[in-house]
Structure 1
Amino acid sequence: MDYVSPKEVAGTMMSAAISKSSLQVRDLLIRGSMSGALLGISVTLAYLAAAQTKLSMAGALVFPVGFIIIIILGMELVTGSFSLVPLAWLEGKITASVMLKNLFWVFVGNLIGSMLFAFLFWSASSETGTLPTMGPIDQMLVAAAEKKTTGYAVHGFAGLFSAFVKAVLCNWMVCMGVVMAMTSKSTSGKILAAGIPIFIFFALGYEHAVVNMFVIPAGMLFGAKVSFAEWWLDNQLIVTLGNIVGGLLFTGMAVYYTHGKPENQVSTPIL
Structure 2
Amino acid sequence: FISKQYLFGGGAVGAAALNIAQAKVGLGFFQAIALGILCNTLVCLAVWMTFSARSTIDKIAAIIFPITAFVAAGFEHSIANMYFVPIALLIKNFGTTEFWGAIGRTPAEYSSLSWESFLIN
TM-score range, shorter chain: 0.7 to 0.9
Identity of aligned residues (%): 31
Shift of 1:182: 1.1
Q: Retained in 2: the 8 A contact 1:181–1:189?
A: yes
Does residue 221 in structure 1 map to residue 83 in structure 2? no
Equivalent residue letter for 2:38: L
Paired residue type of 1:124: S
1:125 is displaced (CA, Å) by 2.8
Could you list the per-position Cα deviations for residues 63-99 of structure 1 after superposition, in whole angstroms to 9, with x for gaps in the alignment? xxxxxxxxxxxxxxxxxxxxxxxxxxxxxxxxxxxxx
1:123 and 2:10 equivalent? no
1:1-271 equivalences in 2 (<5 Å): 122-125=1-4, 135-149=11-25, 151-152=26-27, 159-223=28-92, 224-225=110-111, 226-234=113-121
Q: Distance in 2 between matches of 1:165 and 1:141?
A: 23
Structure of greater Rg: 1
Ranges in structure 2 where 5+ consecutive residues have no aligned partner: 93-109
Aligned alpha-carbon RMSD (Å): 2.0
1:184 alignment partner, SS class: coil
| Normalised TM-score (structure 1) | 0.35
Between 216-225 and 137-146, report the one with greater CA deviation.
216-225
Unpaired segments ≥5 residues, structure 1: 1-121, 153-158, 235-271
TM-score by structure 2 length?
0.76
* CA deviations over 1:94-152 (Å, ceiling 9, x no partner): xxxxxxxxxxxxxxxxxxxxxxxxxxxx222358xxx6x96212111101111111x22
Question: CA separation of 1:123/1:188 partners in 2, compared to 1, >3 Å: closer, same or farther?
Answer: same
Greater RCO structure (CA 8 Å; 6+ sep): 2
**Does the aligned pair in 1 maintain the 2:5–2:13 contact within 8 Å?**
no
| Paired AA for residue 142 in structure 1 | L
Question: 8 Å contact 1:216–1:231 — kept in the other structure?
Answer: yes
